[in-house]
Amino acid sequence: MRNIKLTIAYDGTNYHGFQEQRGTGLVTIQEVLEKCLRRLAGREIRVTGAGRTDAGVHARGQVVNFDAAGWNIPAERIVLALNGMLPRDIAALEAEEVGPEFHARYSALAKTYRYTIYNSRIPSPFWRLYSHFVPRPLDVQAMAGAAQWLVGTHDFASFQAAGSPVKHTVRTLFSVDVCREGKEVIHLIFRGNGFLYNMVRIMVGTLIEVGLGKRDPDDIPAILAARNRTRAGPTAPPEGLCLERVEY
């Protein structure tokens, strides 16, 4: 085995998520990447991604690994070769050879997701693909206060998509940062050891309700304790979400 760790960025707007969806006819990041690797390597290459981003979700630092056995390209050449072939909404950022024990998903120690809100009466054509538009004013202080209740090791069952098969729902959030960029843009940055299905988007949907004054910041502990999806807020839309970084 010749194990390659590859970091990629993508604008997820035109894709049905990262993971291959066999037989659906929907285009995914994984399929496009594997098709380019197949053309470059002259044989089938299967990649494993660190995180399965959903349809419309972006990445600035998704990590994949694959076995390049028999493909005699120096690791640092892979980036240029891929960028010459990938569509312009996907870019290869970095490639390196790693030990055979490296697995993009299981070896990850931390992931960072950023959720971006465009908070203004007037929508922005330039942020529309990369943020969730909230026209009513948000109380960012209240959102930051509520977010701190989520930091730490908790059972996040209330923040998991209904019907998810995952039974072990305890995760650790190392930090949640809420910050403004200019007057209109709000970023919520979540760093944790793992995330349940839709967990970031449900946390954001709940924090937006806090920001709108529909919920008290101090309601979060009771929502966590309930272990019940119906107690949390709605799932925020995908276009605001971006997988920023995976740490190993």
Binding-site residue numbers for substrate are 113
- Restricted to residues 135-164, the positions that interact with a copy of itself (CB under 8 A) are none
Position among 5, 16, 58, 114 found at the interface with a copy of itself (CB under 8 A): 58
Q: Which of 54, 67, 139, 216 is catalytic?
A: 54
CB within 8 A of 17, min separation 6: which ones? 28, 29, 52, 53, 54, 55, 56, 57
What SS3 state is found at 165?
coil
Judged by beta carbon, residue 92 or residue 232, the one nearer a copy of itself is 92
Residue 238 CB, nearest approach to a copy of itself (Å)? 15
The pattern of x and - marking residues 80 through 99 that bind a copy of itself according to CB under 8 A reads x--x----xxxxxx------
Which one of 43, 46, 77, 128 is in contact with a copy of itself (CB under 8 A)?
A: 128
CB 32 within 8 Å of CB 89: no
Task: Write the DSSP assignment of 172-202 as a string of letters.
Answer: EEEEEEEEEETTTEEEEEEEES---TTHHHH
Q: How far apart are CA 4 and CA 64, in angstroms?
A: 8
The nearer residue to a copy of itself, 120 or 164, going by C-beta atoms, is 120
What is the smallest separation between the CB atom of 227 and a copy of itself, expressed in angstroms? 37
Query: Smallest Cα–Cα separation from 244: which of 175, 160, 184?
Result: 175
Q: Is residue 243 within 8 Å of 113, Cβ to Cβ?
A: yes
Q: Which residues contact 179 (CB under 8 A, 6 or more apart)?
A: 186, 187, 189
Q: Which of 10, 18, 113, 115 binds a copy of itself (CB under 8 A)?
A: 10
Q: How many CB atoms are closer than 10 A to CB 101?
A: 8
Residue 200 makes contact with a copy of itself by CB under 8 A: no
Binding status of residue 104 toward a copy of itself by CB under 8 A? no
Contact footprint for a copy of itself (CB under 8 A): 9-11, 58, 60, 79-80, 83, 88-93, 121-126, 128, 130
Q: What amino acid positions are annotated as catalytic residues? A: 54
